[in-house]
Structure 1
Amino acid sequence: MAAPSRPTAKVKLSDGLVQSLAVGKVYRDHKGPVSGMDFTYDGQHLVTSGEDKSVYVYSCEKAGRARHLRCEKYGVGLIRFLHNDRDCAVAASRSEAEHLLKYWDFHDNKYLRLFRSHTARVTSVSPHPYEDLFLSGSEDRAVLLWDLRQERPVAKINGQGTTIASFDQQGLVFAACVGQPKLHLFDTRNYAKGEFTSFDLRPHVPDQAQFVAFSPCGKYLLARTRSQMVLIDAFDGELICEYPEEAPQSTPSAGSAAPVASVPSFSPDSQYVLSGQPNGDVCVWATTNARLVHRLEGHTTTPGRVLFSPAHALVVTAAETLAWWIPDTAPP
């Protein structure tokens, strides 16, 4: 079956438009940090999950809350919408006892399936863009491939440390980091044969990646470690650029929480990379040369989640509040 077409951005992005972004709406729904955030494939809805065990779904068209759901038993960590579905998501628990994943129907507010296999905190969730599959990474040293129709994983990749994994935009390839400063690439249809290539990141970054994502155009891989964020050529693994992020303003004392690391993202046309900073700003860089295009200023704590809408000139950032940024002038 032919893959359904993805929506194209309705607004052509430019430096001028990005530089005109200003806060259009602020929400204070979550009573604590936001742990997950995602847009639907068409950019019509946004979901957020928080450490307060709440999930909110927002209508981007109406710029308002559409649903509020609770998860008292398991809590909610990462959350991702499924392909071509505005009402279903995969959510990771925040329970210390059970590290499960939930196939959640928001419309009926019920779990269609619980996926139990991970034995430690889930660190990444990546739904396939067109099929009923998703990847998960974990602190239990395993990357798992799941079919939404089955309770047990259909494939497992063992690692040597905390793992993360992500599909490309076409779902043909997925990248995994399994405990070393190295990226492993797999053919989605032939993963049983093992990786078809790998990129050693040690010449560029000393630590293992804590986040990895393909650009929407498929040409680049964005990788973040504890202290660096770099852009890698998705075809040959060469370093393209490093983004000059700011260091935390203070070193945490013994027993205190580590600084929040922002989860970065691409713009839908792959022109820009966004990431929150310890001073509360969100930096927007030109993707391929790390030129600073704009700073979104207004948060007072590190924006842990930043996302560009896949279809509109809208950026959402999550820190002590949830801020929606829109152009303050009409596009030319």
Structure 2
Amino acid sequence: MAADTATAPMSRISDIITSFRPTKLFKAPPATAYTSVDFDDSGEFMLLSRTDDTIQLFNTKAGAHAKELKSQKYGSALARFTHHSTSIIYASTKVDDGIRYLSMHDNSFIRYFRGHTGRVTGLAVSPGGDQFLSASLDNTVKLWDCRSPNAQGQLEAESPYLVAYDPSASVIAVASPPAQTVLLYDLKNYDKPPFASFDLLDTEKRFAADFGQRPGEGWTGLEFSNNGKYILITTNGPGHYLIDAFSGDLVHYLHRPSGATGRLAPGDSLPEPTAAYMQADACMTPDGRYVVSGNGSQTGLLVWDAQEKGGSGRGDNKMVLEPMAELPSTKAAGVVAFNPRFNLVASAEREVVMWIPDLDLA
């Protein structure tokens, strides 16, 4: 892999999206795996949860590992930057179902957020302030403010395992894989019924026979595109769902030919105490046009162009979209994220891989 990891400011992604190549590899101790990845607002730092009850911090500009934070007593999952790059939140995996607010500067806890009585399956930080959402197996979604230990509000829903803010921070989405629904709430009136409910039952049934997609199972992530047009529902199966953020209609079924990943989703039962689920292995690019995803049961990454027309799948289903490119690597991608400020992609499972465009290929 190349030694140079200098991150260039964001250029037009369409010019370089197929040229990303691995440039840095960071190995991890045996029998560990990374379960989440996040970038800070500046794009300079990257945060990953790992199954050995640690959180790993990387400097993307330097292309270097920066710090290891241990959470041996409480475990760690879904580590997220707040809008202060030295402060993070993350979910506990042991002792309790709390959320911890940590200062990385001196590795001290700022605050604890208690109230969930089941495993936390989703964390989303508001793009507009110090608020964040948490979803849990206790059938609640809680609204928090980093400045208070008490929940600011609560939603009750069937298996609300995944949550997301829209880019304006005025709408929140709650996804229930067992109910096969995505609910949209006005954040200012979250105590009222959702203003939109998207039922994906028929959509999922459409792809069960042709591709073996399991309806209502294996949803791993929920994300709005930065332009507000799409909602991406990622799965650990043979495809992801890209839906219209306003109508809930399916835009594309993003088929990955290599099939399912075999990784656990947030709502899955964990077979043993040390087992861990992965956050989404797919993400949208900052321009809202492309989806970058792990390559299912194989290594490397896949790329889909949301502006392409579908129809290349079996059964002449016009909603099926095949990958436009495969980005080669010898490493699996259990979690994937696109840097919000620089042309850099991060993927991880057993090892962390940083990807940048190869300008000779662009």
Partner of 1:80: 80
Q: Distance in 2 between matches of 1:200 and 1:9?
A: 39
Paired residues, what number? 319
How much does 1:230 deviate? 0.6
The yes-or-no answer on 1:321 pairing with 2:348 is no
**Deviation readout 1:292-329 (Å, 9 max, x if unpaired):** 2322222444x111111111111111022111111122
2:143 is paired with a residue of what secondary structure?
Answer: strand
Q: Distance in 1 between matches of 2:251 and 2:338?
A: 22
| CA RMSD between the two structures | 2.5
- Once the two structures are superposed, the pairs formed by residues 250-269 of structure 1 within 5 Å of their partners are 262-269=280-287
Partner of 1:294: 325
**Percent identity among equivalent residues?**
29
Stretch moving more, 115-124 or 260-269? 260-269
Q: After the TM superposition, which parts of structure 1 deviate over 6 Å for at least 4 consecutive aligned residues?
A: 249-252, 255-261
Residues 128 and 169 in structure 2, CA contact (< 8 A), matched pair in contact too: yes
Partner of 2:148: 150
The yes-or-no answer on 1:133 pairing with 2:131 is yes
Q: What is the TM-score of this pair, normalised by structure 2?
A: 0.81
Q: Distance in 1 between matches of 2:192 and 2:262?
A: 46
Task: Report the residue type matching 2:290 in the other structure.
Answer: Y
**Aligned pair partner of 2:241 in 227, 230, 234:** 230
Stretch moving more, 72-81 or 172-181? 172-181
Change (3 A) 1:12 1:30: farther
Change (3 A) 1:137 1:249: closer
Q: Distance in 1 between matches of 2:279 and 2:196?
A: 28
The yes-or-no answer on 1:283 pairing with 2:286 is no
1:203 is paired with a residue of what secondary structure?
Answer: helix
**Aligned pair partner of 1:207 in 209, 216, 225:** 216
Task: Report the residue type matching 1:207 in the other structure.
Answer: G
The yes-or-no answer on 1:116 pairing with 2:147 is no
Task: Report the residue type matching 1:247 in the other structure.
Answer: G
Query: Does 1 or 2 have the higher relative contact order (CA < 8 Å, sep 6+)?
Result: 2
How much does 1:39 deviate? 0.4
**Deviation readout 1:236-288 (Å, 9 max, x if unpaired):** 11110101123248899xx7989968531111111210111211221111124
Q: Distance in 1 between matches of 2:169 and 2:67?
A: 29
1:19 is paired with a residue of what secondary structure?
Answer: helix
How much does 1:291 deviate? 4.5
How much does 1:226 deviate? 4.8
Structure 1: tracts of 5 or more residues without a match:
1-7
Q: Distance in 1 between matches of 2:66 and 2:277?
A: 32
**Deviation readout 1:82-108 (Å, 9 max, x if unpaired):** 12x21111111121x311111111112
Q: Distance in 1 between matches of 2:37 and 2:303?
A: 18
Residues 183 and 199 in structure 1, CA contact (< 8 A), matched pair in contact too: yes
Partner of 2:91: 92
Structure 2: tracts of 5 or more residues without a match:
1-7, 205-214, 265-270, 309-320
